């Protein structure tokens, strides 16, 4: 096979901390992972699952991560199950405790920001924290220990707490071209053939190849 086995959990025998997280056994149904997206952690698959926080099925939100993402050790995704009400007098979540349940209609109507969506070819740095309902665009980079509280544009580099755009990787016109090429949607055989161009910055050449196929 001319490319890593997309069905393997540990695709690098000499680097057992690297795993294709799509293939983690018993991955929750409310977590969607694209092919070739990897997480690097010496603690193994359980560490990735433990870093998806407050993700309860009854909330209905999903964590969706695209293809070819690189996720460093300790990256954490906080989901909507961690949200508390702030409009009332108390923020305390009384109904999660059975004796205080059933006291009023709407007691489980906690705030939600919807799905958390990580695009394709996203690099998430060590100990970065992604908050609920955030969308991170294709090709973006999240710096180490950033706290991402709002959407990240495609091909933007963000950092800090809260994370702010430091710069964009390409100008707006080039970003539009790259999003149209969408190389991450190609079959892995085609990606393998184009690795040199995908890894460099000659957008014209990559665009020409995309147009021929």
CA separation for the pair 179, 197 (Å, rounded): 15
Q: Which residue in the list 5, 16, 60, 84 is annotated as catalytic?
A: 84
121 closest CA partner among 157, 149, 155: 155
Q: Distance from CA of residue 57 to its chain's centroid?
A: 18
Cβ neighbors of 5 (< 8 A, separation 6 or more) are: 11
Q: Distance from CA of residue 119 to its chain's centroid?
A: 7
CA separation for the pair 131, 115 (Å, rounded): 10
Neighbouring C-alpha atoms within 13 Å toward the C-beta of 168: 13
Residues 166/147, Cβ–Cβ less than 8 Å: no
139 closest CA partner among 192, 198, 191: 198
Q: Are strands 123-124 and 70-71 parallel, antiparallel or unpaired?
A: parallel
Q: Are strands 123-124 and 52-53 parallel, antiparallel or unpaired?
A: unpaired
Q: Is 84 a catalytic residue?
A: yes
Supply the residues annotated as catalytic. 84
């Amino acid at each position: 096979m001319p490319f890593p086995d997309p069905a393997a959990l540990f695709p690098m025998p000499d680097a057992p901390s690297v795993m294709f997280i799509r293939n983690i056994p018993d991955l929750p149904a409310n977590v969607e992972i694209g092919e070739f997206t990897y997480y690097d952690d010496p603690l193994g698959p359980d560490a990735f699952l433990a870093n998806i926080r407050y993700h309860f099925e009854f909330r209905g939100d999903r964590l969706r991560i695209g293809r070819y993402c690189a996720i460093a050790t300790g990256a954490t995704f906080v989901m909507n199950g961690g949200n508390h009400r702030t409009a009332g007098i108390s923020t305390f979540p009384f109904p999660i405790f059975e004796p205080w349940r059933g006291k009023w209609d709407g007691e489980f109507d906690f705030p939600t920001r919807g799905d958390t969506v990580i695009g394709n070819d996203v690099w998430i740095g060590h100990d970065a924290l992604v908050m609920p309902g955030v969308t991170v665009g294709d090709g973006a980079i999240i710096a180490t220990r950033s706290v991402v509280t709002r959407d990240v544009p495609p091909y933007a580099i963000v950092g800090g707490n809260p994370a702010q755009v430091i710069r964009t990787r390409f100008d707006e016109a080039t970003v539009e071209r790259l999003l149209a090429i969408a190389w991450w949607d190609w079959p892995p055989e085609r990606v393998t053939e184009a690795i040199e161009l995908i890894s460099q910055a000659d957008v014209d050449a990559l665009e020409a190849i995309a147009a021929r196929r």
